[in-house]
């Protein structure tokens, strides 16, 4: 009797066939997938540790150096500064936004002229051995020259501060584009050029159909390096030439003893430079053969 009762209890506890079918057809709840978050955490945690280390060293520097602002004081100044970054109270009193825009305009002019001159020069140097032997010594001689040495030459040539700044950016940012383009042309397989010679293609056709598509990744790499140099040079050039620009804005804030604004400007310069470099890196990956 007891055995029969136990059997009935077990049969009553087990689900019926209909219930089993419903349970199988019921939507399964998605299980959490922590593996998807692991790559993100592997990037965010070290970055957060680096930021915390920077803030800690910054706080130590503010405690040890008299007049050096704390991170909190700099943050409060940044909130006030970026509340209206594009105000305009006259030629010598404009917001940090207008100063960044003015610096970007100068960089665009100098960098654009350097690209127009440097990329074709790199093609010629990489294509013709005589041109390479003629210009390689000049490049090796002029490339290490500091931008502060080129600025007085620009002032002497143009007699104005505005073209002199663009000239300094041009002469300092042209070399990476020339060198990378020339090396890219020299690394092209000789079989490509042999086929062009057999087909009796013109030099312009070889340049347009064979050299340029093959060298484009190297050209973009040179442009990325040149952009970093151009954005680096503009700050030093504007400090000496004056006028509207982030470099002169930093010098003006130093004269006013606004150290918080100088630190904010350093962050702005780094952020804008990072965005420019990342944009060119994305463009280089788009045309790279290594996917």
Q: Where are the domains of the chain?
A: 96-286
Q: Which of 245, 225, 220 is nearest to 235 (CA)?
A: 245
Which tens digits make up the pLDDT trace of 142-154?
998 888 889 888 8
* pLDDT score recorded for residue 32: 52
Sequence-ordered list of residues with C-beta below 8 angstroms from that of 179, at least 6 positions apart, any chain: 122, 139, 222
- Is the pLDDT score of 5 beyond 50? no
Q: Which of 216, 163, 169 is nearest to 188 (CA)?
A: 216
* pLDDT score recorded for residue 117: 93
- Is the pLDDT score of 18 beyond 90? no
Average pLDDT over residues 78-101: 86
- Is the pLDDT score of 285 beyond 80? no
Average pLDDT over residues 89-112: 88
Q: Which of 57, 83, 81 is nearest to 71 (CA)?
A: 57
* pLDDT score recorded for residue 28: 52
| pTM (two decimals) | 0.76
Which tens digits make up the pLDDT trace of 41-59?
777 888 888 889 988 888 8
Average pLDDT over residues 163-176: 91
* pLDDT score recorded for residue 240: 83
- Is the pLDDT score of 282 beyond 80? yes
Task: For the chain, give the longest Cα–Cα distance.
Answer: 116
Considering the chain, what percentage of its residues have pLDDT values greater than 70?
86
Residues constituting the chain: 291
* pLDDT score recorded for residue 214: 81
* pLDDT score recorded for residue 110: 92
Distance CA 117, CA 98 (A): 29
Question: Taking all residues of the chain, what is their mean pLDDT, rounded to a whole number?
Answer: 81
- The CATH architecture one would assign to domain 96-286 is Orthogonal Bundle (1.10)
* pLDDT score recorded for residue 11: 47
* pLDDT score recorded for residue 247: 87
For residue 242, what are its two tokens? 């004056």
């Amino acid at each position: 009797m007891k055995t029969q009762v136990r059997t009935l209890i077990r049969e009553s506890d087990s689900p019926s066939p209909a219930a089993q079918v419903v349970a199988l057809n019921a939507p399964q709840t998605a299980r959490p997938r922590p593996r998807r978050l692991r790559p993100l955490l592997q990037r965010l945690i070290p970055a957060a540790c680096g930021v915390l280390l920077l803030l800690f060293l910054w706080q130590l520097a503010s405690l040890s150096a008299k007049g050096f602002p704390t991170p909190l004081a700099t943050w409060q100044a940044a909130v006030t500064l970026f509340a209206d970054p594009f105000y305009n109270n006259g030629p010598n009193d404009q917001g940090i936004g207008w100063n960044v825009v003015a610096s970007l305009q100068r960089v665009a002019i100098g960098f654009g002229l350097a690209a127009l001159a440097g990329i074709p020069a790199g093609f010629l140097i990489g294509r013709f051995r005589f041109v390479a032997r003629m210009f390689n010594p000049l490049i090796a001689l002029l490339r290490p020259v500091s931008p502060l040495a080129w600025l007085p030459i620009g002032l002497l040539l143009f007699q104005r501060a505005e073209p002199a700044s663009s000239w300094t950016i041009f002469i300092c940012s042209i070399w990476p584009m020339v060198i990378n383009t020339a090396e890219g042309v020299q690394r092209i397989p000789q079989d490509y050029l042999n086929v062009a010679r057999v087909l009796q293609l013109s030099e312009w056709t070889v340049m347009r159909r064979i050299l340029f598509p093959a060298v484009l990744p190297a050209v973009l790499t040179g442009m990325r390096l040149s952009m970093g140099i151009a954005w680096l040079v503009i700050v030093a050039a504007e400090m000496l030439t004056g006028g509207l620009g982030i470099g002169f804005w930093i010098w003006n804030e130093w004269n006013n003893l606004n150290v918080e604004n100088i630190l904010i400007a350093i962050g702005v310069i780094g952020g804008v430079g990072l965005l420019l470099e990342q944009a060119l890196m994305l463009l280089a990956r788009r045309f790279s053969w290594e996917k």
